[in-house]
Structure formats: C-alpha cells, structure tokens
Copies of this chain bind each other. A is one copy, B any other.
Amino acid sequence: MLATIKPLTSRKQEILEAAQALFSRKGYTDASMRDLAEALGIEPASLYSHFKSKEDILWEIAIRCAKAFNDGQEPIFSASLTPEIKLRNMIDRHIELMIDNINASAIFFREWHHLSKERHDDYAQMIIDYEQRFVQVIEEGMKAGVFKASVRPKFITSALLASINWMHKWYRPEGSMTISDIQQHMHLLLLDGLQS
C-alpha cells in the first residue's frame, strides 16, 4: 500500500536530509522553510523549485521512512522461526532501523500527525500495519505457550515500541552504547524481565 517512491536528484536528497535533521530537532511546525534554506545555504524561495510545499517534504520523508521500516522488517517476519526468536529478531531489527534512520524515525512516530487529512489517514494505517506484525507474533507466541497467557498483545506492542522509539531522544552514534549493547538491554528489559 506504500506510494511509489521515485528516484531523487542529489539536490532533492540534500534537502530531505537537512529537513529530517531539522524536523527531528525542532519539530515540524517550529522548523521553518527559512531555517531549512539557511541550513542548505540557499534562499527560501529556491526550495520551491524542488518541492511544492513544506508538507510535501514531510510526506516524502515519511513514506521513505515507512518503507525503510517495512522493507527492513519483511524478511524477518516472513521467515520460518519460532515466535520467541521472531519477536527477538524483530526487536533487534527495529533497533537497527532506528539507528540507521535516527532523524527520519522521529517523523515515523511523532511528526507525521502534521500531515494533511488524507495523507494522515493513509499514514496512520501504515503504522497500524507495522505494529500489527508485532501483535501477530505475540499472539502466536501465546498460542504456543512461550509467552504468558495473560498478556494483551496490543498493549505489549505499544509499550515495547515506545521504549525503543524513545531512543531518538538519547541515542548518539558516538555514545557509550553499541547497537549490540542496546539490543541486549532491550531483550533483558522487554523479554527476560528485570528481576533475577
């Protein structure tokens, strides 16, 4: 259901990358087209040779990010694995995708509500679809008896992704935690439980 994603001129790519960083840091509304132009060293009006509107920039970032997350998760979801291994792999993959798309990811789950009605509704569905894969694996695990029978899969998915998505607030590539450290800690907290 994802819209077709066209190849980009390098200028368009530059604009999108600057916009991702800016929208992520300041938020969509507080990041102005003037800010964006300044970050690129051009005049604001020049942006409109590449994108029809500010919202079009947000949309382009949003669908590319949704595609990255969906495509990245696809092989794991389609693989023939036990539910507990599959969920573990999906968490690991989600963390890797967060890190690979750290600026865009803020748009994936925070800034997309600024999209206009129709796009907003389409996008909400993409996010529901993404989350639904987690819900489904948890349900499989419950049936198989590897996850506790008392859980509500939707609640768990929400809480689990909220934990990981919060990474965009604190993650720094130069920080003390490697991807692997983060993945192990998330397993520990979200799968194995904190108590020894």
Contacts and interface: CB of A to CB of B under 8 A. Distances in A.
Query: How extensive is the interface on chain A, given as a class?
Result: 35 or more
Q: Chain A: interface secondary structure?
A: helix
Contacts of A145: 196
A147 B194 contact: yes
B162 A162 contact: yes
A27 interface: yes
Interface in A110-162: 114, 145-152, 155-156, 158-160, 162
Contacts of A189: 151, 156, 159-160, 190
Interface of A: 27, 29-30, 84, 114, 145-152, 155-156, 158-160, 162-166, 170, 177, 182, 185-186, 188-196
